Amino acid sequence: MDDLSLKDVARRALGLVDLTNLNDDCTEADITTLTGRAVTPHGSVAAICIWPRFVAQGVRELAGTGVKVATVVNFPAGGTETSAVVAETRQAIADGADEIDLVMPYRAFMEGRKGFAEEQIIRVKEAIPAPAKLKVILETGEIKDPLLIHLASEIAIGAGADFIKTSTGKVPVNATLEAAEIMLTAIEEERRDHGRNVGFKPAGGIKTAEDAAAYLALADKIMGHNWVSATTFRFGASGLLDALIAELEGKTVHAGEGY
């Protein structure tokens, strides 16, 4: 890919980033640093994605910017205490969260408890009033089996997910193009069969403009060239933004470590 087209990718991708800090040692000062990076000379990211305890701070610091505040629930383990997850969700919404990234109870799902996983997603969705959005994290690197990844995508979509997301970024295998293809195919099937548009979010390990280009090309191939926008596609990343800005400014950067 030549420099011009990578620059075009960077321009396209910057507004699709969910700028993320889900480090275990994250502090209020780190959140202020994150919110300060969310609006760049080249445009704003789509959202920040942070721990629930920082939502009110993020909302306050991003007021008037148009940048959404996303947070995570049932994260990262994808446990099975649905009532606790619903309570966590309600508190995040009360604190001002625009988007909830829910870890599907993927271990229960893999053990054959598909109805349990579905019910948890349904109950969390019920706790999220419009226009707030629900993204469901499948943890595809743990599910592994392509047929099960497709089934998990179908279950999450059927239970009301506004987006389906690959990964928490906290396991050995996170976003992959193979999982993305399966998930985007399920999204296309939902659009074809029911006319409903569900979004897609690859997360974990996406660090360069070249990485972003590969996922965007896959989405264009499966969903069509006019489908990708911040309402349908996000990158969950911490280091990607710096790489995109460097590309736009003609600089070289080593993409940051992390989510």
Cα atoms in the 13 Å half-sphere on the side-chain side of 226: 0
Dihedral angle sign, alpha carbons of residues 172, 115, 154, 120? negative
Per-residue pLDDT for the chain (259 aa), expressed as one digit of tens each?
555 599 999 999 999 999 999 999 999 999 999 999 999 999 999 999 999 999 999 999 999 999 999 999 999 999 989 999 999 999 999 999 999 999 999 999 999 999 999 999 999 999 999 999 999 999 999 999 999 999 999 999 999 999 999 999 999 999 999 999 999 999 999 999 999 999 999 999 999 999 999 999 999 999 999 999 999 999 999 999 999 999 999 986 554 444 4
Question: Which tokens hold the place of 238?
Answer: 């911490």
How many Å apart are CA 13 and CA 162, to the nearest integer? 20
Cα separations (Å) of 55 from 18, 29, 60, 186, 259?
Answer: 14, 13, 9, 31, 18
Q: SS3 of 72, please?
A: strand
Confidence at residue 2, expressed as pLDDT on a 0 to 100 scale? 57
Confidence at residue 258, expressed as pLDDT on a 0 to 100 scale? 44
Instruction: Give the helix/strand (H/E) hosting 183.
Output: helix 177-194
Please identify every residue annotated as catalytic: 101, 165, 201
Q: SS3 of 102, please?
A: strand
Domain spanning 3-248: CATH superfamily: Aldolase class I (3.20.20.70)
**What type of residue is 155?**
I
Question: Which tokens hold the place of 58?
Answer: 């993020």
Confidence at residue 253, expressed as pLDDT on a 0 to 100 scale? 58
Instruction: Give the helix/strand (H/E) hosting 200.
Output: strand 199-201
Confidence at residue 255, expressed as pLDDT on a 0 to 100 scale? 46
Question: Which tokens hold the place of 248?
Answer: 């736009």
Going from N- to C-terminal start, the domains of the chain cover 3-248
Question: Which tokens hold the place of 179?
Answer: 């999982």
How many Å apart are CA 121 and CA 80, to the nearest integer? 11
Confidence at residue 80, expressed as pLDDT on a 0 to 100 scale? 83
The DSSP-derived string for 70-112 is EEEESTTT--S-HHHHHHHHHHHHHTT-SEEEEE--HHHHHTT
Cis, bond preceding 52 (omega within 30 deg of 0): no
